[in-house]
Amino acid sequence: MAVSYTAVVNVDGEGRNGGRVHSSDGLLETGLAIPKELGGAGTATNPEQLLAAGWAACFLGALRRAAADRRIRLTSTTITAEITLTHGDDNEFTLSAVLNPVLGGVDRATAEELARAAHGICPYSKATRDNIPVTINAGVAA
């Protein structure tokens, strides 16, 4: 049986420069601002942070699924996602990503294997595959 879910989010105002985000269920409501690093006010979240949050959360779920499929018990999972917005000489904007999962209860080789598997499972990874550069640096918890 297929499971389906559609997130519905409205953004109004000036978009990334002072706009507001509202989800249809009311659970997500926030302002948007251009980061200080790009000359903006930096007083609210931005699309890159929202992408990083969604991708990181999804990727951890995919990591746990990959571990369960292999009957590997993880003692902890954390991830730092870095989404970089680049403005090139051609006046075009592009994205790149670095995902840094840290897994507890496994060795580095297993962490790397699970990260590769998760990258094949995660819908965010699938959606961005061959569209943006993605680096995955799997680590192990101390």
Task: Tell me whether the CATH fold assigned to 1-45 matches the one assigned to 47-140.
Answer: no
Structure tokens at 40: 């903006």
pLDDT of residue 62: 98
The 3-state secondary structure of 34-86, one letter per residue: CCHHHCCCCCCECHHHHHHHHHHHHHHHHHHHHHHHCCCCCCEEEEEEEEEEE
Name the amino acid, one letter, at 61.
G
Domain map (residue ranges) of the chain:
1-45, 47-140
Report the CATH superfamily, name and number, of domain 47-140: K homology (KH) domain (3.30.300.20)
Contact (Cβ atoms closer than 8 angstroms) between residue 103 and residue 63: yes
pLDDT of residue 51: 98
Encode the chain (142 residues) as per-residue pLDDT tens digits: 688 999 999 999 999 999 999 999 999 999 999 999 999 999 999 999 999 999 999 999 999 999 999 999 999 999 999 999 998 888 899 999 999 999 999 999 999 999 999 999 999 999 999 999 999 999 999 8
pLDDT of residue 112: 98
Class of domain 1-45: mainly beta
